[in-house]
Amino acid sequence: MSYEFDAALVLACGINEDGSLPADPKESVDIAKSLYDSARTPLVIFSGNISYKATSTPPRSESTAMREYAQETGLPIDCLLQEDVSKDTLGNVYFTKVSLLIPRKLGRLAVVLGPNHSRKRVQYILDKVLGSQYQTTLFEHSANRAQETEREKKSLNILRQWFDQVPNGDHEAVYQIMLDRHPGYKTSR
């Protein structure tokens, strides 16, 4: 069978303190399920541990909670992959690339954004981390939250300060900057 996408990548967009999923990530999973059910993709990747901005530590990661919800909705376990290290959207893309996309040679992605993700910021991250050898198509929630707009603009400006000089697709340079500057990944030296 020929598929439009090699995988659907579901970006983390929240988890409750008790480890249950709020409505937004459930909707993301439902979007990915519709892509699978319509035979547009054979695989679904759930990405995300716990946000570095979280004020509590839920008993399971966002990607685990999304994967378990996906199984409840009827997605077969053998089509579900998981990245469980990242702490934000930048990490979702970086760790998915190095742990799943490169080893499995997956290059055509349906990327499911949460309502807290701006298309502009996510596309910038995809371009910087993945580069032109990957094809991405963005899928969004129906919700459009105006309160996220200013935060997303600020985040994009920070990303541009860090990464504008990095060639698209140079994930090793991106990771080095993450270790040097990003509060969620910064290592002390």
The string of pLDDT tens digits covering residues 42-99 is 999 999 999 998 888 999 999 999 999 999 999 999 999 999 999 999 999 999 999 9
Residue 134 lies in a domain: yes
Place of tokens 């399920």: 33
How many structural domains compose the chain? Answer: 1
Residue 133 lies in a domain: yes
Residue 186 lies in a domain: no
What is the distance, to the nearest Å, from the Cα of residue 34 to the centroid of all Cα atoms in its chain? Answer: 18
Range of the domain at 37: 7-181
44 close to 70: Cβ distance less than 8 angstroms: yes
Per-residue pLDDT at 115: 83
Per-residue pLDDT at 150: 83
Residue 95 lies in a domain: yes
First to last CA, the chain: 50
Name the residue type at position 135. Answer: Q
Residue 188 lies in a domain: no
Residue 81: which H helix or E strand, with range?
Answer: strand 80-83
Residue 84 lies in a domain: yes
Residue 145 lies in a domain: yes
Per-residue pLDDT at 151: 85
Average pLDDT estimate for 130-143: 91
User: What does each C-alpha distance from 110 to 28, 56, 152, 178 come to in angstroms?
Assistant: 12, 30, 21, 25
Per-residue pLDDT at 189: 47
Q: What is the pTM of this model?
A: 0.94
User: What does each C-alpha distance from 3 to 8, 28, 44, 119 come to in angstroms?
Assistant: 11, 20, 13, 24
Phi then psi for residue 89, to 5 deg, are: -65, -40
Largest CA distance in the chain: 50
Residue 1 lies in a domain: no
What CATH number is associated with residue 55? 3.40.50.620
Cα–Cα dist 147/22, whole Å: 18
